[in-house]
Amino acid sequence: MTNARATRESRQAKAAAMRAAAAKAEARRRQMIVGAVALVLIALVIAIFAIVQTSKHNNAKNAGSTPGGFDGNYSVVVGQASAPVTVIAYEDFQCPACQQYEKANRAQLAAYVKAGSIKIDYRPIAILDRSSSTNYSTRALNAAAAVVTNSPSAFVTFHDLLYDNQPAEGTAGLKDQQLIDYAVQAGAPKAAVTAAVTKEIYKGWTVKATDEATTKGGVSGTPTVKVNGKTLTDVSAASVKSTIDAAIAAAKK
Amino acid sequence: MPKQVSVPPKVLGRSIDRRLVSTVARIFVAGVFLFSGFAKVVDIDGTIRQVRAYRLLPEAVVPTVGSGLPILEIALGVLLLAGLLTRFSAVMVTLVSAAFFIGISQAWARGLQINCGCFGNDGLNPHPVPGYIRELVLNALLITACSWLIRRPGSRWSLDAGLGLTLDDHDDDEDDADSEVPAIPLNGVQQ
């Protein structure tokens, strides 16, 4: 009697265990199928997105006009060609740290330029479009390209005006009309600049300039300042001064 | 007088619902990944520059990684939020977080002055260390939450359970059996 019951119970237990194992296997099988489908879908979406983004980026790059007046396509060089020290400055018009750099260094750099000991190689780029609601970074760079194309000597004044009147991050940035007014104030011809700014005809070039700086230039943020090829980690007035003085002394030897 | 039966010590599974802990872990990780994925996807060019700034990957793959990463993050965030393929997603998140962890550590070690891209920040930062620490802690938390999920993917309000992709009850029973004090016969007599 007890034996029979034990056998029945053990048979039932065995059957239950088998059912559980089968259910588990079924769950695992379903998991594999859904997992494989999900993996393929995610991979597909990523691939399509990457391809679309790349082609969009390339199309944007090649659209519009190429500005004139730049050295080597992306530089505005200020100062005597014979100056022994070159200061390269990658800056974004929306970047607050660039504004601080400008505030701290503008006067002393101008004095060095005047003395013929340095030349400044301005390389404006646009990496902070998301800091404004209107892509101010790109619009400001486009306006700078318009100024350089039409009146290269007006660039530095325009550049300084934009840093002195830099819009705060997270705002709509300066309006097109304001950009045009500053360009005219700096000495650029109104009609040509107006057309270039309102239609953003140099937008494709702004993408190229930024790509060039972030790939070949090794720029990962702004301001990136290089003195005779050496990148400064500290762009305070004292650090810039001592680095430039050392470079001038080295050049004299 | 019969011997007093000792009360088993309160293990986690008895004092709080483990499936609820899994749900919380799942939603925490999903929230972080969705947030950071969306922050990156709105500025793909910036994300690509950010990936480049870590100076880890060859230029040939940087644009693909930069545009693929936000999509991967969003996809994993959605899966975890829905509780679909929880264990698989948790493994993937662990891999991605570990990659971030290594990327940030090496950037710090090499003295690169970058803002962490984890939340779509941009650019050079003269004081990057607090950011590095914040991101390392966050990624460590993500990995911790995921290692819980990998062990216990069964959670409340998940599609996995709804679609019959897991047998959580059985899993729980097995796990409980491991951690519990062996049953003591009520009469205290060892058989």
Nearest CA in chain B to A48: B68
- The predicted model gives A217-239 an average pLDDT of 90
What is the pLDDT at residue B169? 47
What is the pLDDT at residue B163? 79
Of the candidates A34, A221, A233, which has its C-beta nearest B165's C-beta?
A: A34
Q: How many residues does chain A have?
A: 253
Continuous H helices in chain B: 12-15, 18-41, 44-53, 62-82, 86-109, 129-151, 159-162, 168-179
What is the pLDDT at residue B117? 41
User: Which homologous superfamily is A76-252 in?
Assistant: Glutaredoxin (3.40.30.10)
Contact B63 A30 (CB under 8 A): no
Spatial distance between the Cα atoms of B147 and B155, rounded to a whole number of angstroms: 14
Instruction: List Cβ neighbours of B171 (8 Å cut-off, separation of 6 or more).
Output: B152, B154
Tokens describing residue A58: 């390339």
Q: Which of B119, B67, B52, B46 is nearest to A128 (CA)?
A: B46
Spatial distance between the Cα atoms of B119 and B47, rounded to a whole number of angstroms: 10
Is this complex's ipTM strictly greater than 0.90? no
B90 and chain A in contact, CB less than 8 A? no
AA letter at A214: T
Instruction: List Cβ neighbours of B180 (8 Å cut-off, separation of 6 or more).
Output: B8, B11
- The predicted model gives A170-188 an average pLDDT of 95
| Residue A82: C-alpha distances to residues A79, A86, B32, B114 (Å) | 9, 10, 54, 35
Spatial distance between the Cα atoms of A175 and A144, rounded to a whole number of angstroms: 14
Residues of A in contact with B53 (CB under 8 A): 220-221
Q: How many residues does chain B have?
A: 191
Of the candidates A20, A127, A233, which has its C-beta nearest B122's C-beta?
A: A127
Contact B88 A224 (CB under 8 A): no
B129 pLDDT band (50/70/90 cuts)?
Answer: confident
- Is the bond leading into A124 cis (omega within 30 degrees of zero)? no
* Domain locations along chain A: 1-62, 76-252
pTM above 0.90, yes or no: no
Contact A38 B71 (CB under 8 A): no
| Cα four-point dihedral sign B82, B43, A232, A163 | negative
AA letter at A123: R
Q: Which residues pair with A18 in a beta bridge?
A: none
B108 pLDDT band (50/70/90 cuts)?
Answer: confident
- The predicted model gives B62-73 an average pLDDT of 94
User: Phi and psi at residue A87, in whole multiples of 5°?
Assistant: -105, 115
* Three-state DSSP class for residue B23: helix
CA A246 to chain centre: 30
- pLDDT exceeds 50 at position A51: yes
Sheet with A118-125, edge to edge strand ranges: A76-78, A118-125, A85-92, A224-227, A230-231
Contact A49 B71 (CB under 8 A): yes
Other CB atoms within 10 Å distance of the CB of residue B161: 19
Query: HSE of B30 in the Cβ direction (CA atoms, 13 Å)?
Result: 20
Contact A221 B115 (CB under 8 A): yes
* DSSP symbol at B5: P
- pLDDT tens-place string over residues B145-189: 999 999 998 888 888 888 777 655 444 444 443 444 444 444 544
A213-241 burial, b if ≥16 CB within 10 A, otherwise e?
Answer: bbeebebbbbbbbbbbeebbeebeeebbe
* Domain locations along chain B: 17-169
Contact A127 B170 (CB under 8 A): no
User: Phi and psi at residue A8, in whole multiples of 5°?
Assistant: -60, -45
Chain A closest-CA separation from residue B24 CA (Å): 22
* Three-state DSSP class for residue A173: coil
Contact A49 B68 (CB under 8 A): yes
Which of the pair, B191 or B137, is modelled with greater confidence?
Answer: B137
Residues of B in contact with A27 (CB under 8 A): 164-167
B72 and chain A in contact, CB less than 8 A? yes
Torsion of CA B17, B22, B25, B26, to 10 degrees: -140
B129 and chain A in contact, CB less than 8 A? no
Instruction: List Cβ neighbours of B149 (8 Å cut-off, separation of 6 or more).
Output: B22, B25, B26, B29, B86, B87, B90, B155
- pLDDT tens-place string over residues B40-51: 998 898 889 888
Q: In which residue are the tokens 């997105």 written?
A: A49
Other CB atoms within 10 Å distance of the CB of residue A63: 14
Chain B closest-CA separation from residue A27 CA (Å): 5
What is the pLDDT at residue B175? 44
Name the pairing type of β-strands A85-92 and A118-125: parallel
- The predicted model gives A197-222 an average pLDDT of 92
Contact B63 A127 (CB under 8 A): no
Of the candidates A30, A34, A221, which has its C-beta nearest B123's C-beta?
A: A221
Name the pairing type of β-strands A230-231 and A224-227: antiparallel
Tokens describing residue B83: 């509780």
* Three-state DSSP class for residue A253: coil
